[in-house]
Amino acid sequence: MRMPHGGLHWAVVSLAGIARVVQSLSIDINDLESIKNAASQTAYGSMLWYKGNETGQIPGAFPDKWWEGSALFLSLLYYWHYTGDTTYNAEVSQGMIWQAGSGDYMPANYSSYLGNDDQGFWGIAAMTAAEINFPDVANGYSWLSLAQGVFNTQVARWDSANCGGGLRWQIFPYQAGYAMKNAISNALLFQLAARLARYTGNQTYTQWADKVWDWSASTPLLNNKTWNVADSTDIQGGCKAQGNNQWSYNYGAYLVGAAYMYNMTEKGTWKTAVDGLLGVVLNTFFPQDFNYIMSEVLCEPNEVCNNNEILFKGLVTGWLAFVALLVPSTYDQILPKLQASAQGAAASCSGMGNNTCGVRWHESKWDGWVGMEEQISATDVLSSVLVTQKKGGGPLTSSTGGTSSSDPNAGGNDGSASGKTKPKPITTGDKAGAGILTIVFVGLWAGLIAFMLIGA
């Protein structure tokens, strides 16, 4: 994980101090072209970290943090959807197909150590591609079938023998965290089932969405009275105790799934869920003290966010834009928060002499942080405010123009089984994979800055 106060961070800041000073990205929240131009800068910045399109490299691969490939490509899908810019479409298609495994995002090179949440994020990216009519790849898996493949392999892991149901965090018994059931794994399965139900009209998906939601609400993970979403619960305690760390993406994943269910069914119980979860999200993660700019409040104030946690805001802002479309009554609550956050994010993108973005958007300046994750989240929120162009529309379905082909039987055999191996103890919170920012990047940026100074 990135060490925010370690030698690397301060080395980057020190190098930044000799770089040419640039202005932050300038956006007029009422000028769509200025927002699109800013998003193009942050998207370009995120792709500077991607090597999968280079000779000899593996498309879509991030060996130390495989799940983050899905976050990058999801960000670029949103970017294309809202701006119409096709610059990165070929890389997105290539990477998402290359990492698809047997049509279920369990690629052989990484599957032995993946968690259900890691796989789930790739399924969400594929589902998004289907809903926005991102072109299917000729002679490749369709986006819809990839989402179905993830769904099929995950429901096969549903663990009724412990705590009456639920997905474990990890897939294999030898993994640390196998004895834990966590919010994000189950929320992503719920969300995926809800989106597949709405897209296909298949009642099997609807039934599974109900099942995952009801099970979650029977545990400390999801309180459907207070709308508290806990991070995790332990099987060994019968799923009675909770790890109550408050992360935005746990809320966002359940919230957007509930929005799909309400859009599809118009049932009041789903509207109650949308309103309840949205209220907590807006009150907790868009603090008044920060001028309603989004903050990952558990880690940002103390500068201890790791790579995974930096991505959470981007994931949630992307989902909030879809919630605003799916449940129009929420639009006027959500849009101002997205707009304030986009302005803060743009103002943070003034680092390294090349509009590098920071973590703490509410500071409205670069805070010295550097990474692909910062670029991705900034792109997500800048794209999300372009939802104003889509008002009255929403994610497509097979009956409203969606063209991605279906394969209800998609998915290979991932080899996961309950097993007898005693799981290793878990000491970390709910994380989707792991990331390491190496010293190589210091050399990369040092060379870039030296080049800039020589050319100045």
* Mean pLDDT in consecutive groups of 10 residues from the start of the chain, 456 residues: 34 40 82 97 97 95 93 98 98 98 94 94 98 96 98 98 97 95 98 98 98 98 98 96 97 98 98 98 98 98 96 98 98 98 97 95 96 98 98 95 97 58 36 37 39 38
- Token pair for residue 200? 């296909």
- Sign (positive or negative) of CA dihedral 27, 28, 29, 31: negative
2 vs 163: CA distance, rounded Å? 35
Tell me the pTM.
Answer: 0.88
Phi, psi of 95 (to 5 degrees): -65, -40
Cα-based distances in Å from 78 to 163, 207, 219, 312: 37, 28, 33, 15
436 vs 434: CA distance, rounded Å? 7
Give the model's pLDDT for residue 421. Answer: 32
Radius of gyration of the chain (CA): 21
For helices 89-98 and 116-131, the axis angle rounded to 10 degrees is 140
**Residue (of 291, 285, 333) closest to 312 by Cα position:** 285
Residue 253 CA, distance from chain mean position: 9
Give the model's pLDDT for residue 26. Answer: 85
- Nearby residues of 372 by Cβ (< 8 Å), 6 or more positions away: 46, 49, 50, 68, 72
Give the model's pLDDT for residue 105. Answer: 97
Domains detected in the chain: 7-402+427-455 (1.50.10.20)
Phi, psi of 115 (to 5 degrees): -100, 165
- Token pair for residue 294? 């989004």
